[in-house]
Chains A and B, each alone.
Chain A
C-alpha cells in the first residue's frame, strides 16, 4: 500500500467527475460539478473498480483525491 494515490486512481476520479487536470490535493467540494450525483458516481466507480462500497457521507467528507484514496485503501484492508 502506498500513501499517495496511484496515477490510475487519480485518472479514474478525474474521469468520473469530468474534471481533467484534477490534482491529488485539490478541494473536491470546490469543483463546480461537485454534487450529490457526483458522489453517487464515485460510489459506483469504487464499487466497480475496487470492490468497495463507500458510504456517501464518508465520500462527502474525504475532501480530496488523497482522502478518497485513504478511504478506499482503508476499506480494502478490512
Chain B
C-alpha cells in the first residue's frame, strides 16, 4: 500500500518503504541470522521490485523501512492484512549490529494501536525463532496456538506459533520496556556516529 505513515523515536524512524529500498530489503532478508526464520523471499532486486509493485497497490498493507534519524537503513517492519480493527504484525528484521529491535517494535506497536486504530494485532513466529518468541512474550503478546507445518521455508515445512496482542497488554509491557529503549537509543546514536561518512545527528 502506498501509505504515508511515519513515526520517530529512540534514535530511529519508521517510514514508508520505497521502490529504491528493494536492494536493501533483499540484502536484509537474506542475512545469515534471518534465513530459516522468515518466509521465503526475493533473492534478487528485480524480484523484490516486482513484489513491491504488487505491495504498493495492496490495501491494508503498511510496510516500513527502519532507519536511523540520519537515514541509515537498519531494518524493516510491516503491519498487514488489516481488516477493520485487526491486522498482522510481521516482516520484522533488524540488522544484528544495531540495537534497534526494541525501539522499532515500540514504534510499530504504537502506530498499530495509535494512528491505525487497531484493537488487535496478530503475529506468527517460526517455532525455531527463539529470540522472537521470547520477545513476543515480553511484549505482552499472548500465545494462542501452535500450527504444525503451517508454512514452508527453504522448501521445508515449519511450525508457526500464533500470538495476539491487545492495547491493554501492550500499554503494560510498554512501561516496562521504555527505560531499555532509551538505553538502545544511546547505542544507536553511537553506532550511527561510527559509520563512515555519517553526518552528525543531534
Give 26 CB contacts A-B under 8 Å: A32-B133, A32-B134, A33-B134, A34-B131, A35-B130, A35-B131, A35-B132, A35-B138, A36-B99, A36-B101, A36-B135, A37-B102, A39-B99, A40-B99, A40-B181, A40-B183, A41-B180, A43-B99, A43-B183, A44-B183, A47-B183, A53-B186, A55-B187, A55-B190, A55-B191, A57-B96
A57 vs B95: C-alpha distance when bound (angstroms): 10
B179 in contact (CB, < 8 A): yes
Seen from chain A, the residues whose Cβ lies within 8 Å of a Cβ on chain B are 32-41, 43-44, 47, 53, 55-57, 60
Known A32-B130, A47-B183; further 7 A-B contacts with Cβ < 8 A: A33-B134, A35-B135, A37-B134, A43-B99, A44-B183, A55-B187, A56-B97
Render B167-202 as a binary contact track against A, CB cut-off 8 A, 1 for contact. 000000000010111011011001100000000000
A53 vs B135: C-alpha distance when bound (angstroms): 23
Contacts of B186 in A (CB 8 A): 53
Identify the closest chain B residue to A40 (Cβ).
Answer: B180
Contacts of A32 in B (CB 8 A): 130, 133-134
* Shortest Cβ gap from A59 to chain B (Å): 9
* Shortest Cβ gap from A47 to chain B (Å): 8
Render B91-108 as a binary contact track against A, CB cut-off 8 A, 1 for contact. 000101111011000000
Of A36, A47, A55, A57, the residue contacting B102 (CB under 8 A) is A36
Of A34, A40, A47, the residue contacting B134 (CB under 8 A) is A34
A33 vs B131: C-alpha distance when bound (angstroms): 7
Top 8 closest pairs, chain A to chain B, by CB: A56-B99, A36-B101, A40-B180, A35-B131, A35-B134, A35-B135, A57-B97, A44-B183
Q: Is there an interface contact between A36 and B131, defined as CB atoms closer than 8 Å?
A: yes
Identify the closest chain A residue to B97 (Cβ).
Answer: A57
Contacts of A53 in B (CB 8 A): 186
Contacts of B135 in A (CB 8 A): 35-37
Of B96, B133, B134, B184, the residue contacting A60 (CB under 8 A) is B96
A38 vs B177: C-alpha distance when bound (angstroms): 11
Q: Is there an interface contact between A40 and B184, defined as CB atoms closer than 8 Å?
A: yes
A6 vs B23: C-alpha distance when bound (angstroms): 47
* Shortest Cβ gap from A33 to chain B (Å): 5
Q: Is there an interface contact between A37 and B138, defined as CB atoms closer than 8 Å?
A: yes
A35 vs B179: C-alpha distance when bound (angstroms): 16
Identify the closest chain A residue to B176 (Cβ).
Answer: A37
A39 vs B180: C-alpha distance when bound (angstroms): 10
Identify the closest chain B residue to A57 (Cβ).
Answer: B97
Q: Is there an interface contact between A56 and B138, defined as CB atoms closer than 8 Å?
A: no
Identify the closest chain B residue to A60 (Cβ).
Answer: B96
